[in-house]
Structure 1
Amino acid sequence: MHEYTVAYDIYATARRAALENAATRVKKISADFGEMSMINPEQVEFLFSALSEEDELFQGAVLEYRNIPVKTECPCGYKGDEKYVCPNCGKLPKIVEGREISVTNIEIEVDDE
């Protein structure tokens, strides 16, 4: 189950960043999921909530995500979203965007003391 690993990595990354920045609370984590990452974002969101629910640092924290569509390029000059066969030459285009899974932002609160 890859979604559990992704959810845990997002939780661990956010926790580490929050502690390194003396956060009192994590409010929101933003992430990008590429269309070709083969990950179910809704499952990741559910598992993230389950992993973080007992952590006081994450009380009320939400995981927001964007689905990133596939962008491809082919040596023949084609640029578009065809994943498997270049419509110009029939070759396999190279995927340049849409496979990534990344945390793009972590919103935290810190004491002003």
Structure 2
Amino acid sequence: MHEYSIAYDIFATAKRTALENSATIVKKVYMDVGEMTMINPEQVVFLFDTMCEEDPLFSGCELEYRSVSVKTKCKCGYEGSERFACPDCGLLPEIIEGREVMVTNIEIEVDD
């Protein structure tokens, strides 16, 4: 179950960022999930929420995700979303977007 390790990495990244910036609370974490990652983002959210329950810094924190569509590029010049065979030449196109799992933003509160 690699969703657990992904949720843990997101949690650890948010915690490290919060501590480096003297946060009093982490309100929301945003992530991008590519269509080709083969993970279930709902499971990642559930596991992340479970981790947050044990840390007061994350009280009420939400993990929000955005699905990233596949974008490909072929040597022949084709650019689009075909994953398996270029519609112009039949070669396997290179996937340039859609395989990432990435924290994009973290909302925190700090004392003045």
Structure 1 partner of 2:35: 35
CA distance in 2, matches of 1:26, 1:70: 30
CA distance in 2, matches of 1:38, 1:52: 24
- Give the CA deviation at 1:51: 1.0
Task: Provide the alpha-carbon RMSD of the alignment.
Answer: 0.5
SS in 1 for 2:36: helix
5+ residue gaps, structure 2, are: none
Count of aligned positions:
112
5+ residue gaps, structure 1, are: none
Question: Which amino acid counterpart does residue 43 of structure 1 have in structure 2?
Answer: Q
C-alpha deviations, 1:42-77, integer Å up to 9, x for none?
Answer: 000000001111100000000000000000000011
SS in 1 for 2:92: coil
Structure 2 partner of 1:47: 47
CA distance in 2, matches of 1:69, 1:35: 6
- Give the CA deviation at 1:106: 0.4
Structure 2 partner of 1:76: 76
Question: Which amino acid counterpart does residue 22 of structure 1 have in structure 2?
Answer: S
> Which consecutive segments of 4 or more residues in structure 1 shift more than 3 A?
none
Question: Which amino acid counterpart does residue 13 of structure 2 have in structure 1?
Answer: T
TM-score scaled to structure 1, two decimals? 0.98
Structure 1 partner of 2:104: 104
SS in 2 for 1:36: coil
Question: Which amino acid counterpart does residue 62 of structure 2 have in structure 1?
Answer: V
SS in 1 for 2:107: strand
CA distance in 1, matches of 2:17, 2:37: 24
CA distance in 1, matches of 2:111, 2:96: 41
